[in-house]
Structure 1
Amino acid sequence: MEIIKKDLNRQTNITSKYDRILAEYNLDITDEEVKSAVKKIIVERVAENDTLEVKKFLLSCIELTSLRTIDTEESILAMTEKVNRFDSLYPGLPHVAAICAYPCFTKLIAESLEVDGVDITNVCGSFPSSQTFLEVKTIETALAIKDGATHIDIVLPVGKFLSGDYESVFDTISELKQICGEIPMKVILETGDLGGFRNIKTAALLSMYAGADYVKTSTGKEKISATPESVYVMCQAIKEYHVKTGVQIGLKPAGGINTVMDAIIYYSIFKEILGEKWLTTDWFRIGTSRLTNLLLSDIEGREIEYF
């Protein structure tokens, strides 16, 4: 009986710890409130952001991504070589922010990439499910960094989160951030699986307090990926966290970004809520494969299938 009491007390203290953190934030957000706010931004701001300058900025924020079961060394090398050649073919345009791939390709990319300022982003920690032992996640992350990764994307343990096990969620993120050290780490919330805006905001806040440098919407592997509403809620969480802590956190929409207008909408929400201070590639990234050619075609005024 005494052991049970001690365990209950320990669980109460743990719960209280996270409740105290979350109690400082407004989590009582309704669907109507979020949808109305997003609609207002789209109506009032998107048209003014539909410019050549913004499209060039969006191109510079792209993490050029290949996360396919059929990826090979040849296909990843070909993508890297396209990034290498881009400056000479399009000298007036910015290069992409990063190449994003599985960790097994990191060394190949690091040895082949010739462009300064392009990060190597790796998805780690049992992407996309996050369903494995913490020891496996830490080893995979450490090996990716050893091979040359300069950004790490991990997935929030969604099952643990939905079970209310915030301690495991927090500890997983914190442990992986310790492995990353100064390497920026993004936490993928998998917003389409979280079951509502309150959970999205809660997951974003827990991730930031645990050490996330960015919060990211999605893996792109689930039915629902990034949406304007989920990005709005995440931006609000970033803003409120910055007000309380002074710590600046980045954002990465990813998954289901199919058009240039999708990207402009996300940019407009990001800019409206967070302001000019966040409008650099240090704080805004876009995870995509198809958008790169679409932006390039729009900027150049002709259809281009370069990447």
Structure 2
Amino acid sequence: MTEVTSNLDKNSLNVKKDQSKYEEALSKYNTNIDDAEVKAAVKKIIEEKVPQNDTLDVKKFLLGSVELTSLHTTDTEEEILALTESVNRFESEYPDLPHVATICVFPAFTELVSNSLEIDGVEITNVCGNFPSSQSRMEVKIAETQLAIVDGATEIDIVMPVGKFLSGDYESVCDDINEMKQACGDIPMKVILETGDLKNCSNIKIASILSMYAGADYIKTSTGKEKISATPEAAYVMCQAIKEYYDETGIQIGLKPAGGINTVMDAITYYTIVKEVLGEQWLTNKWFRMGTSRLTNLLISEITGKEVNFF
């Protein structure tokens, strides 16, 4: 009994030590965020800054930042192959326009995309780690991720364990993310915060900071599978966190709004928030991405001045 008690005491001390490490990181940042102030700040940006970014050049940039996404239960090999072949054809049919940044699919289709994709500069993004719930054993998450990379994935998207976060178990949240980053190695990893489930802006700020400290190369708003997906307010708070983290550490982290980006003006709004909060350094298709399945044709249509249904 004495030995058991001693081990429990040691474990308790270790947990407190780990928790203090994360609390120490969080203490460097303002995580007491007022939702009303964020809403007002975003409204001001939209009213005063968005109109000046409604330009042809911005729309071309946004096209080159798209992660062309197909994450449906009904996806078939034929459909994913057709999507990949459309990316291959795009460069020859629209030589004056940038190609999409990535093709984003389930790991089951990675090898197919890798063997079929012919365009240099288009990444292959996989959602891994039991997307979209992240509710699985870590061994399973790691195995799926490593197999995806072997099959040809060049970027990995994972979901933060939201349940653990909402229960306040920040240690486990960070441990999960860190283990997944170790599985990714040098392959860039995006951490999906599922901001629509985080209840308030303070939680979004905390989740952003913890994810970055735990190994995220990008932070991403949403899976697109929940009732609330990306919002300008969530992106604004995430940009603030990225800027403060960069100022503190010198490490640049990317941003990916995803889910619910339905119009060109939605995309311009996210572009404007990044520009105003983070600045020009983040306005490349490496550091700013948009996960969407419907925006690509809308952007091409506005750029060319005619309705296009290429993808």
Tell me whether the two structures share a fold, i.e. TM-score over 0.5: yes
**Which aligned pairs between 1:28-177 and structure 2 lie closer than 5 A?**
28-177=32-181
Deviation at 1:4, TM superposition (A): 4.3
Name the CA distance, whole Å, in 2 between partners of 1:28 and 1:265.
25
- TM-score, normalised via structure 2 length: 0.97
Measure the CA separation in 2 of the matches of 1:112 and 1:11: 47
Q: Match of 1:230?
A: 234
| Mapping for residues 196-235 of structure 1, pairs under 5 Å | 196-235=200-239
Asked if residue 17 in structure 1 is aligned to residue 18 in structure 2, the reply is no
- 1: CA distance, partners of 2:53 / 2:306: 21
2:30 to 8, 26, 29: 26
Pair 1:246-2:233 in alignment? no
1:291 corresponds to: 295
Give, as a single letter, the amino acid of the residue that structure 1 aligns with 2:170.
Y
The alpha carbon displacement at 1:262 in A equals 0.3
Per mean C-alpha deviation after superposition, the further-off stretch among 48-57 and 170-179 is 170-179
In structure 2, the residue matched to 1:256 is 260
Structure 1 residues 132-171: Cα deviation after superposition (integer angstroms, max 9, x where no partner)? 0000000000000000000100000000111111111111
Q: How many equivalent residue pairs?
A: 307
CA distance in 2, matches of 1:187, 1:230: 14
Cα-to-partner distance string for 1:210-240 (whole Å, 9 max, x where unaligned): 1100000000000000000000000000000
Question: Separation in 2 of the partners of 1:4 and 1:184?
Answer: 37
Runs of 4+ in structure 1 over 6 Å off: none
Deviations along 1:184-231, one digit per CA (max 9) or x if unpaired, are 100000000011111101011110001100000000000000000000
User: CA–CA distance in 1 between the matches of 2:65 and 2:281?
Assistant: 15
Instruction: Name the CA distance, whole Å, in 2 between partners of 1:14 and 1:147.
Output: 35
Separation in 2, partners of 1:99, 1:6: 47
User: Is 2:277 the partner of 1:273?
Assistant: yes
Gaps of 5+ in 1: none
In structure 1, give the amino acid aligned to 2:108: C
Deviation at 1:2, TM superposition (A): 4.1
Describe the SS at the equivalent of 2:310.
coil
TM-score (norm 1): 0.98
Pairwise CA RMSD: 0.9
Q: Structure 1 residue 3: deviation in Å?
A: 4.3
Unaligned runs of 5+ in 2: none
Moved more, 121-130 or 4-13: 4-13
Percent of pairs identical after alignment?
Answer: 69
Equivalent-residue separation in structure 2 for 1:284 and 1:232 (angstroms): 13
CA distance, structure 2, for counterparts of residue 200 and residue 234 of structure 1: 7
